[in-house]
Amino acid sequence: MRAPSGAEYALGVRRSGDRLLAVLDPGDLDALERDELFHLVAMARPAQLKLDAALPATLELRLATELGAAGPSEPIDEWLAGDPRRSLCDAWFVARIAQLDAVPPLDARTLWDYVSTTSEDLDPGELTRAVASFLREQHPELSEYADGVEQVLGAAFGPEVVPDGSSAMPLLARVLTEGGAEPMPSVDGTGLSFRVEGDSGTWLCVAESSADAALIVYAVFADVIAEERRAEACELLCRWNSEQLVGSLDLDAASGRIVLRTALLLDDRPPSATVLRRLLDASLAAMDDALPMLTRFAAGASAVVAYGPARTN
């Protein structure tokens, strides 16, 4: 089968009802996850998916409904060759992944095993129920986000559902957990908070969605700026912000709290795990740069001194 990148994969295949069982060689397992073959996108993966790189994996594949199904007596090789689109990885959805000889044995269901059809005509209500079941069974730590699952994958099946920032929260929680963070849902379930350890120190981050389809990560500076120094703090923040391509420092004049804001504008599809990692990396790099400056200012240094000689030359 051929991937969008042009890479080709030799699979041993056999029929299993209306699905296809395909054996993927150990050498291709890395590409399965890295290139998201057969729609194995991050938000469709079960939590327990830990592949043994030394063993082949058996994939249970579902063909896009629009490309038909093989007749009960039709040889599978002839049927696959009957339409060139059937040899494309993107035409198939991996519903289950098994490595029964692994220790412990692996038999994991993906999101695509929960939907009744891979058709673009899938009813949004049915999609919502399927994804909610997937989250509850395969990602119990994310089950509190079940109310927003229609937006998580609705755009993948049709343009009528447009995601907002909340649609990215389950995947963001997954990305954070995989990176070693411990995200906590907000009281209303629409946001996340998590601690970050950078080269310059440790701080709290809060991820929220906005009404204008943006996902925003706020890195919170721990100290509160005294009221009599807030005007000078604005000068410091303006100096630093003028250098930045991504992210900005904001001061709440009423509370004296400083946050670093990094935002991602969303289009008509939920962001990928890679995009979310880049957003988090940008927030980390910017706060690592700003934190020593903010700490100097909070300790009593003037805006000019806190900004640093290297920057003011």
Residue 258 within any structural domain of the chain: yes
Query: 0.75 cut: is pTM over it?
Result: no
Task: Tally helices (H) and strands (E) across the chain.
Answer: 9, 11
Among 270, 262, 266, 264, residue whose Cα is nearest residue 196 = 262
Residue 206 within any structural domain of the chain: yes
How high is the pLDDT of residue 149? Answer: 45
**Per-residue pLDDT tens for 68-81?**
777 667 788 888 88
Q: How many domains does the chain have?
A: 3
Pick from 29-38, 261-270, 271-280, 288-297: least confident? 261-270
Asked whether residue 147 falls in the same domain as residue 204, the answer is no
Residue 165 within any structural domain of the chain: no
Sort 27 into a burial class: Cβ within 10 Å, 0-12 / 13-18 / 19+.
exposed
pLDDT, mean of residues 24-28: 91
Could you list the beta-strand ranges (E) of the chain: 12-16, 19-24, 57-63, 92-99, 106-109, 184-185, 192-197, 202-210, 214-220, 248-251, 258-265
**Per-residue pLDDT tens for 207-220?**
988 766 688 999 99
Domain encompassing residue 20: 1-111
Residue 193 within any structural domain of the chain: yes
Residue 166 within any structural domain of the chain: no
